[in-house]
């Protein structure tokens, strides 16, 4: 299995500032996006970086070129995520522009992205093992893509989740640290394999899409997971029961141990 790369965790939709702009453009970008810094580009090429602190005591119509930092540290999309982590944390920089061989801006990797890469348990290895299981069970050859999925379109295959874990996933999503879902796409159907707490958390937060590993099956077959969902009368995320903290199996086990100690 390949090591985790910057391209797997970077943000592709980057807000940037034109090199011919002014400090006022940065102020507007901060107000509109709530970001605190932006790559500065000239004809797609990264030429600098400007942050909120660069605006201190600066006249609004000061040219960007006079206030931006030209001492850039950038990342390559094929860079090992652990190497990017070392650069970010040793330099104290919160974000690294990601550029191609021609110095064109293609993304940005942040310290939050690095943290997410370290806590993410849904690794490609776990996904590939599930794909191997599908091959053996159905004699098919699934493919794998990674993209956003619509939460409302997911068919759940787990009947209950726990409130405490749900709150934890909501926090992770709000901080941009949520790991991807595992979903099977089969003839337009989206079957949720792993990530029920994250999906419900996103639903509660009003988030429409989540990142996912999507296993694509071209054959029109019914998965065992789909039959299980039908037997449990599951069709949407709203059908999942949310159990309170006291009913969590780990808590129940702890209580039993305390009573018998």
pLDDT tens profile 154-172: 999 999 988 878 887 887 7
**Which residues have a Cβ under 8 Å from the Cβ of 200 and sit 6 or more positions away?**
161, 166, 169, 237, 240, 242
The most confident of the ranges 4-13, 134-143, 242-251 is: 134-143
For the cut 60, the answer to whether the pLDDT of residue 227 exceeds it is yes
Secondary structure (3-state) at 19: coil
pLDDT at 250: 45
Task: Count CB neighbours of 39 within 10 A.
Answer: 25
User: Which of 228, 252, 109, 214 shows the shortest CA–CA distance to 159?
Assistant: 228
pLDDT at 251: 43
pLDDT at 171: 78
pLDDT at 119: 60
For the cut 80, the answer to whether the pLDDT of residue 126 exceeds it is no
pLDDT at 218: 92
For the cut 80, the answer to whether the pLDDT of residue 257 exceeds it is no
**Per-residue confidence at 253, pLDDT binned at 50, 70, 90?**
very low
What average pLDDT does this structure show over 103-119? 83
pLDDT at 10: 86
User: Which of 8, 225, 52 shows the shortest CA–CA distance to 133?
Assistant: 225
In order of 12, 14, 85, 187, 223, the CA distances from 138 in angstroms are: 35, 41, 41, 15, 9
pLDDT at 121: 55
**Which residues have a Cβ under 8 Å from the Cβ of 52 and sit 6 or more positions away?**
26, 30, 36, 37
Instruction: Give the residue, 244 or 216, on which the prediction is more confident.
Output: 216
Query: How far is Cα 88 from Cα 81, in angstroms, rounded to an integer?
Result: 10
User: Which of 132, 163, 157 shows the shortest CA–CA distance to 223?
Assistant: 157
pLDDT at 120: 55
Phi, psi of 131 (to 5 degrees): -60, -40
* Average pLDDT value over all residues in the chain: 86
Residue found under tokens 């996103």: 202
Please state, for a pLDDT cut of 90, what percent of the chain lies above it.
51
pLDDT at 177: 72
In order of 3, 18, 202, 247, the CA distances from 168 in angstroms are: 27, 38, 12, 16
Kindly list the structural domains of the chain, giving each domain's residue range(s) and its CATH number in brackets, ordered by start. Answer: 6-118 (3.10.580.10), 121-252 (3.90.1530.10)
For the cut 80, the answer to whether the pLDDT of residue 124 exceeds it is no
Q: Per residue in 170-218, pLDDT tens?
A: 877 887 777 889 999 998 899 999 999 999 999 999 999 999 999 999 9
% helix, strand, coil for the chain, step of 5: 40, 25, 30
Long-range pairs for 188-192 at CB < 8 Å and ≥24 separation? Answer: 189/155, 189/226, 190/149, 190/150, 190/153, 190/154, 190/155, 191/154, 191/155, 191/157, 191/223, 191/225, 191/226, 191/229, 192/154, 192/155, 192/156, 192/157, 192/158
**Per-residue confidence at 254, pLDDT binned at 50, 70, 90?**
very low
């Amino acid at each position: 299995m390949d090591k985790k790369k910057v391209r797997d965790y970077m943000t592709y939709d980057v807000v940037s500032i034109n090199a011919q702009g002014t400090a006022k453009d940065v102020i507007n970008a901060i107000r509109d996006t709530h970001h605190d810094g932006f790559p500065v580009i000239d004809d797609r090429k990264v030429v600098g970086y400007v942050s909120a602190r660069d605006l201190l005591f600066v006249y609004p119509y000061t040219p960007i070129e006079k206030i931006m930092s030209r001492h850039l540290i950038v990342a390559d999309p094929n860079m090992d995520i652990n190497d990017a982590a070392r650069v970010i944390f040793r330099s104290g920089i919160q974000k690294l522009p990601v550029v191609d061989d021609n110095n064109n801006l293609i993304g940005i990797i942040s310290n939050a992205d690095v943290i997410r890469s370290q806590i993410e348990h849904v690794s490609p290895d776990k996904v590939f093992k599930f794909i191997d299981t599908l091959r053996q069970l159905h004699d098919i050859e699934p493919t794998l893509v990674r993209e956003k999925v619509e939460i409302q379109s997911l068919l759940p295959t787990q009947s209950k989740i726990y409130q405490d874990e749900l709150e934890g996933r909501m926090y992770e999503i709000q901080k941009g640290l949520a790991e991807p879902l595992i979903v099977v796409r089969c003839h337009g159907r989206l079957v949720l394999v792993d990530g029920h707490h994250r999906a419900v958390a996103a639903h509660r937060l009003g988030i429409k899409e989540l990142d996912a590993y999507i296993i694509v099956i071209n054959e029109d077959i019914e998965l065992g997971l789909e039959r299980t969902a039908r037997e449990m009368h599951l069709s949407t995320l709203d059908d999942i029961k949310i159990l309170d903290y006291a009913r969590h199996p780990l808590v129940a086990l702890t209580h039993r141990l305390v009573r018998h100690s």
